[in-house]
Structure 1
Amino acid sequence: MTSSPAHIAMFSIAAHGHVNPSLEVIRELVARGHRVSYAVPASFAEKVAETGATPVVYASTLPTDEDPDAWGTELIDNLEPFLADAMQVLPQLAEAFDEDRPDLVLHDITAYPAPVLAHTWGVPAVSLWPNLVPWEGYEEEVAEPMFAELKASARGKAYYARFEEWLRGHGVDTHPDRFVARPRRALVLIPRALQPHADRVDESVYTFVGACQGTRAEQGEWRRPDGAEKVALVSLGSSFTKQPGFYRDCAEALAGLPGWHVVLQIGRFVDPTELGELPLNVEVHSWVPQLAILRQADVFITHAGAGGSQEGLATGTPMVAVPQAVDQFGNADMLQSLGVARHVPMEEVTPERLREAVLALVDDPEVACRAREIRESMAREGGTLRAAGLIEEELVRAGAGPRAEA
């Protein structure tokens, strides 16, 4: 049984780490004949339109990748903005879809209005999960200790009261913690190898489809320079990149190694002049076609974000993980435990420490063997095609579309 063409609505926020993982899945759904409306702030509308989906633009109050410091420093600082934004976004999206309701809702984990709208419309919702998922026992082992102090505070109690009132007002009788972390159905857009306690994940809810990367041909190509025997890519992603001292350490660590070529992606918050004079075998860019470089690189110095981690694994590139925030610390430990990376905390970074980590990785045949095994296992997870197929199965179950085809 296959699904007939349907109207699918995808919802996300204005953040590369949340939009990018979904794009190839959306592109494939459009190619299969489905009409996809993608709700996203204006800054990502063009990127969404390139997949063939129709952007549904809404106004958001969330901090963006351009201002990572706006998220504050405490746990509650990272929670309140999502709820406040959801409360003001929901009416916008309800109006936008009032006369064009979808057959199925897809949503990023941060898009709180989406499952509420799905409940209101009586259509199934599927979460496209871009990072680690909770396992059986996660609440007791991780969430409860992490949130205990917050939930006992006046500010935390007020936050949960607002959240519960908002959900009840829309007919959703679910505790906020379960609403966020325990969806009805989720497709996990990271490889199972990156997931802690993967054997304890309920795979009737969370299905690992692995990396959905596509060719990224639209990002351009990169060619290894003549004479470059080894290539190192350095990138801290798109948000926590204001680290000129770190980039100087990377250049010093590798520039003097015979035959090495270094690519520094420094982001938008660092002026190349802040790095001083660099050797000729170091190239500096605010942005690079990362996947194209990783297909040719010998080592990847990364912040260990979900996207970068799985790109390193998918290309079999050994990694030096230097995490900056949130789930990156767990990813760094997981990459190291897989035998394909070294975790170097930011406060311990020196040119000597980086050089030692890089050489230890590229000189170890066991690292190369393990990287190859993981790359092959990821290819078997199915990626974009499997994700699209599972979404179509949800459409069939819902009887969506103008007709059902057997």
Structure 2
Amino acid sequence: MRVLFTAGPFFGHVNTVLPLAVAAERAGHEVRFATGADFADHVSERGLECWGVGPTADEAGMPTSLAFFRRTGALRAADLLKLADRWRPDLVISEELEFGGVVAAARDATPLLVHGLGIAAAGSTEAVTSEVDRLGATWGLPHLAEVYRTSLHLSVCPPSLRPVGLPDPKLMSVRPALGEPAPGERLPAVLEDLPYEANIHLTLGTVFHQRRPGVLAAAIAGLRELAANLIVTVGPGVDPADFGSQPANVVVERYLPHALLLPRCTAVVSQGGAGIVLGALAHGLPQLVMPQGADQFDNAAAVQRAGVGLVVDSNEPNPLAITEAMEKLLREPQYADAARAVRTEIHVMPTPSDVIAAWRTVTPWSLM
């Protein structure tokens, strides 16, 4: 089977879909992964052929609304349609905010699966389908929103974190996965020489924190005083040296592979992106969330609701408040207990390989 995966050019979008694409390739399917050209190396390092389509992350700019994904999806669709004409995929799997793949699937009546991105990704919302509908009008596809809404949706959200009252599309679970480190990826040797037993990982993602760099600085200031190692990643486009000299228990890097780092950690501090929230929970780690934008406020609410962590207001970041919240998280065992319970939920969800194996007896589109 020829399977086309599509994702917007952001780590949280690409990395969420990659495990299923890798599983499909290993199961013997022909796979193409379409995203921004800036992610070509990241995808090809996992053994997949990448199509660079539409704008890169830098060219697209900062996502500020759902209309952003409609506009960039239209640009990707223009490239995807030409490539699909030549390759003729049997199935399109598009992450839930990558609408170019929806256009390519609908135009050729190719079966579509919508791959959720996180906690709120348990199905389409009225706002999302409205943008898809507007895109359909642009491309002369008046049924585009219906195709999106009625397609099988793959949800990476464990039951304890699913919001109440969402629409009920055809829903299939797939275990959220950190994927595998690329060949040759290693953690830096400096991590072996840190002074404390406990490790706290601090990340505010790769997009929103660049708007407000003071939030990351405040978090470092608040967490480095604890009797724990602080391992910070600042993301591309940020120089670790900008944060100045740090004590011996602090390491600041641009990027570290979570698949290698999180098993070493005791707790996580993040912006509340779905990838890091679910990644931390897959390892049973309690977390402190400092939401910046997009779905992060909803994710932070889900973290609190499930009792797996705490939330700190990042509008006026206060190092002392961050210190106190992390001390509570580490001191009171109910947060780690709840996180381990969600880890158990995640580990019984179907793996990407399980989902691919199901295609041998029931094709995904026959489930629709």
TM-score (norm 1): 0.79
| Higher RCO (CA < 8 A, seq sep 6+) | 1
Q: Which moved more, 1:386-395 or 1:263-272?
A: 386-395
Q: Check 1:313–1:201 CA distance in 2 against 1; reply closer, same or farther (3 A cut).
A: farther
Give the secondary structure class of the aligned counterpart of 2:193: coil
The structure with the larger Rg is 1
Q: 1:96 to 1:248 in 2, by over 3 A?
A: closer
How far apart are 1:267 and its partner, in Å?
2.1
Q: 1:205 Cα deviation (Å)?
A: 0.9
The question of whether the paired residues in 1 share the 8 Å contact of 2:46 and 2:182 is answered with: no
Confirm whether residue 186 of structure 1 aligns to residue 153 of structure 2: yes
1:379 maps to which of 308, 328, 347: 347
Moved more, 377-386 or 237-246: 237-246
- Equivalenced residues, count: 362
Shift in alpha-carbon separation, 1:282–1:194, aligned structure 2, 3 A: same
Distance 1:393-1:205 versus aligned 2 partners, 3 A rule: farther
Deviation at 1:391, TM superposition (A): 4.8
Q: Give 1:165's aligned residue.
A: 137
CA distance, structure 1, for counterparts of residue 9 and residue 219 of structure 2: 30
Cα drift, residue 48 of structure 1: 2.1
CA–CA distance in structure 1, aligned partners of residues 167 and 8 of structure 2: 26
Change (3 A) 1:272 1:43: closer
Once the two structures are TM-superposed, the CA of residue 91 in structure 1 deviates from its matched residue by: 3.7
Residue 216 in 1 paired to residue 181 in 2? yes
- The 8 Å contact of residues 191 and 209 in structure 1, kept in 2 or not, is answered as no
Tell me how far apart the structure 2 counterparts of residues 97 and 69 of structure 1 sit (CA, whole Å). Answer: 26
Secondary structure at the counterpart of residue 114 of structure 2: strand
Q: Shift in Å at residue 33 of structure 1?
A: 0.7
Give the alignment of 1:94-109 within 5 angstroms: 94-109=81-96
Percent of pairs identical after alignment? 24
CA RMSD of aligned residues (A): 3.0
Q: Is the 8 A contact 1:7 1:36 kept in 2?
A: yes
Distance in 1 (CA, whole Å) between partners of 2:307 and 2:105 is 42
**Contact residue 244 and residue 275 of structure 1 kept, 8 A:** no
Residues 247-292 of structure 1, C-alpha deviations (whole Å, 9 max, x = no match) = 332333232333x111121223433343233212111111122332
Instruction: Provide structure 2 residue ranges, at least 5 long, that are not aligned to the other structure.
Output: none
1:231–1:262 CA contact under 8 A, matched in 2 = yes
Cα distance change on mapping 1:235 and 1:183 into 2, 3 Å: farther
Q: Secondary structure at the match of 1:232?
A: strand
SS in 1 for 2:110: coil
SS in 2 for 1:381: coil
**Matched residue, 2:217:** 248
Unaligned runs of 5+ in 1: 1-5, 152-158, 399-406
The question of 1:18 aligning with 2:5 is answered: no
Q: Find the counterpart in structure 2 of residue 133 from structure 1.
A: 121
1:361 matches 2:329: yes
State the 1:193 CA deviation. Answer: 2.9
Greater shift, 334-343 or 118-127, is seen at 118-127
For residues 16 and 99 of structure 2, what CA distance do their matches in structure 1 show?
18
Query: Which amino acid is the alignment partner of residue 236 of structure 2?
Result: R
